[in-house]
Structure 1
Amino acid sequence: MNIAIIGLGKMGGNMARRLARGGAKVFGFDLSAETRAKLAADEPNFQGFDSVAKLVASLPKPRVVWLMLPAGEISENTFAELKTLLAQGDLVVDGANAMYKDSQRHAAELAESGLKFVDAGVSGGVWGLANGYTIMLGGEKDAIAQVERFVKLLAPAPDRGWIHCGPAGSGHYTKMVHNGIEYGMMQAFAEGFALLKAKEDFNLDIAEISEVWRHGSVIRSWLLDLIAGTLAEDTDLAGLAAFVPDSGEGRWTVLESIELGVPTPVITQALFSRFSSRGNDDFAMKLLSMMRNAFGGHAVAKQ
């Protein structure tokens, strides 16, 4: 079994490791020579290349090339390069976070060159190497059949943790909605624990509470497991800045809800809360303070 992985960051690198340890021969490319060398030293079934062209030339046909690259210019440039290097019957998998409409477009463009395409929404984060990845696939049946043996190595087990969702774009669409739900769940946990911590007169042990909730509670989950593990080490989260980025999936989910006319107030507010964490609402908050002072004479805090 031969497969190429382009993009060997936190997700792509660990996926390459899991595939190699599962018996696949992995051909890898990353801009970082250090990353390639480390994988080659650790994994006998991994071989690194310093260019996409060399990787494709060395990969036996029919080729399966799995991309783990950021959405946007890097991915677009790589797709364009691969169209000039691959041959009819070869398959490209986009396993990174990508807008599903881009995946539909990529499928059509590659088909014009006789190439197959699968979009793969992948969840599991840095824990996927040990626990396996949840994988949501979109594409034609023959393309899915060509990549299925690799998916079974990446998943928690060959018979679970992965699904063929539908046509091209459906895998990334499903992963987009998955991440939107994730935003809402994370926001609810963050707000709930903030309430517990703010009730100072009760002197609540939020680390112990999080641990108790893990056993039999309706809200027990992997996210709660992660919270409990972190709070057991540091209940004040000292050294962490109140700054929360977003990868883009949450934005796409909210935009899709607007296009479809489906209300998603929890997911939308969770996304906006991340924006607020970056200071983007500072001016708005100042204006709110000014208005309260103007109409009601309420005190205004000065910097």
Structure 2
Amino acid sequence: MELGLVGLGKMGGNMRERIRRAGHTVVGFDRNPDLTDVHSLRELVDALQAPRVVWVMVPAGGPTQSTIDELGELLSPGDVVVDGGNSRWTDDERHAEELAAKGIGFVDCGVSGGVWGLENGYALMYGGDPENVARVQPIFDALKPEGEFGSVHAGRVGAGHFAKMVHNGIEYAMMQAFAEGWELLEAADAVTDVREVFRSWQEGTVIRSWLLDLAVRALDDDEHLAALRGYAADSGEGRWTVEAAIDHAVPLPAITASLFARFASRQDDSPQMKMIAALRNQFGGHAVTAAAGGEKGADSPGADVTPPVGG
């Protein structure tokens, strides 16, 4: 199968490689000339045989809107656009309507997997009409993890990003719980090796998980997270989750509290937020901010920069 892929950053670039490893042809476009296969969206569209599928992996909001607008002028009836970024589900409904008026299909896809997705596969949650989803299915199959699970047709347009939004809200709360437990252990004089306590939980406990494994990895890198400032960004999905909960009158006390804890991290150097920042960096390559006097400058790996798409 042929695929056009727009956006070849940390996730998009690895997705291109995983899809190619599965035997598909990928024509990628990125504004970075060191990453791109073609030099414009028009060149990308011209390189694909109709009917085309073009997957968009750019930041949500303006960049996604402008990319879809341009593709709407370049593509033909029968083509399909996939938005695999972290767009809000309400944007999906508008994009689907705009493209449908031109005979172009639309699928929204929440993607989770971060910098580990190339080897482990990406969890995929997608929404759209069955015929449009079927067109993209070979690519979904190439990207998903091995085995029975890891992808789902969640429902109509918007369902994929809504499901990914809820996933990220749960992620906020889980990371917050690990962070609070870590800070309490660090504060207790009786506990002399917090890192090994965390490591001991990796087997035989009900909280063993990939996030726990990543917490241990982060503590192996920096036992007391001294090099990190206690600051953690939020990339939008946590806020949207809380807003959706209000709209649906669904109580979300844990997720809401974890979002507010991130806001608190911007007021003081929070020890809990050091763990949150470390975990986000471990699983998604998200930026971290160095502690005062630390070595991570604006140009170094892990410096405070724009977060990657997805994850």
> Which of the five TM-score ranges fits, normalised by the shorter chain?
0.7 to 0.9
CA RMSD of aligned residues (A): 1.5
The answer to whether the aligner puts 1:224 opposite 2:212 as a matched pair is: yes
C-alpha contact 1:197 1:206 (8 A) present in aligned 2: yes
Alignment of 1:175-194 (within 5 A): 175-194=164-183
Q: TM-score, normalised by structure 1?
A: 0.87
Aligned residue for 1:31?
Answer: 31
**Given the alignment of the two structures, is residue 77 of structure 1 paired with residue 63 of structure 2, yes or no?**
no
What CA distance in whole angstroms lies between the structure 1 residues aligned with 2:269 and 2:10? 31
Would the aligned equivalents of 1:3 and 1:63 in 2 still touch at CA under 8 Å? yes
CA contact (8 A) 1:92 1:118 kept: yes
Structure 1 residue matching 2:34: 3-state secondary structure: helix
1:111-260 matches, cutoff 5 A: 111-157=100-146, 159-199=148-188, 201-260=189-248
Write the deviation string for residues 231-281 of structure 1: whole angstroms up to 9, x where unpaired.
123211122111100110001001001111111111111111111111289
Contact 1:118 1:139 in 2 (8 A): yes
How far residue 35 of structure 1 moved from its aligned partner, in angstroms, is: 2.3
Shift of 1:15: 0.6
1:142 is paired with a residue whose SS is: helix
Q: After superposition, what is the alpha-carbon deviation per residue over 1:102-156, rounded to whole angstroms, capped at 9, x for unaligned?
A: 0111111111110011000111111110000000010000011000001000001
The residue type equivalent to 1:123 in the other structure is S
- Partners of 2:44 and 2:226 in 1: CA distance: 44
Does 2:84 align with 1:87?
A: no
Query: Normalised by the size of structure 2, how large is the TM-score?
Result: 0.84
Which residue pairs with 1:100 in the alignment? 89
Contact 1:152-1:158 at 8 Å conserved across structures: no
Task: Give the aligned partner of residue 289 of structure 2.
Answer: none
| Count of aligned positions | 270
Give the letter for the 2:135 counterpart. Answer: Q
In structure 2, the residue matched to 1:279 is 267
Give yes or no for contact 1:91–1:117 (8 Å, CA) kept in 2: yes
Q: 1:274 & 1:259 partners in 2: Cα distance?
A: 22
Displacement after TM superposition at 1:159 (Å): 4.2
Superposed displacement of residue 158, structure 1: 6.5
1:280 and 1:53 map into 2 onto residues whose CA distance is 48
Partner Cα distance (1:106, 1:280) in 2 = 40
Q: Is the 8 A contact 1:88 1:114 kept in 2?
A: yes
- The answer to whether the Cα contact below 8 Å between 1:120 and 1:172 also exists between their aligned partners in 2 is yes
Does the 8 Å contact 1:152/1:159 carry over to 2?
A: no
Q: Residues 5 and 28 of structure 2 are in contact (CA less than 8 Å); yes or no, is this contact kept in structure 1?
A: yes
Structure 1 CA distance for aligned equivalents of residues 113 and 192 of structure 2? 32
Q: Which amino acid aligns with 1:124?
A: G
Report the secondary structure of 1:137's partner residue: strand
Letter paired with 1:120: C
Q: Which amino acid in the other structure matches residue 34 of structure 1?
A: D
Moved segments of 4+, more than 4 Å: none
- Distance in 2, matches of 1:185 and 1:203, equals 23
CA distance in 2, matches of 1:246, 1:12: 21
Change (3 A) 1:89 1:109: same
Q: What letter corresponds to residue 109 of structure 2 in structure 1?
A: A
2:57 & 2:134 partners in 1: Cα distance? 20
* Structure 2 equivalent of residue 296 of structure 1: none
Instruction: Could you tell me which runs of 5 or more consecutive residues in structure 2 were left unpaired when the two chains were aligned.
Output: 271-311
- In structure 2, the partner of 1:4 is 4
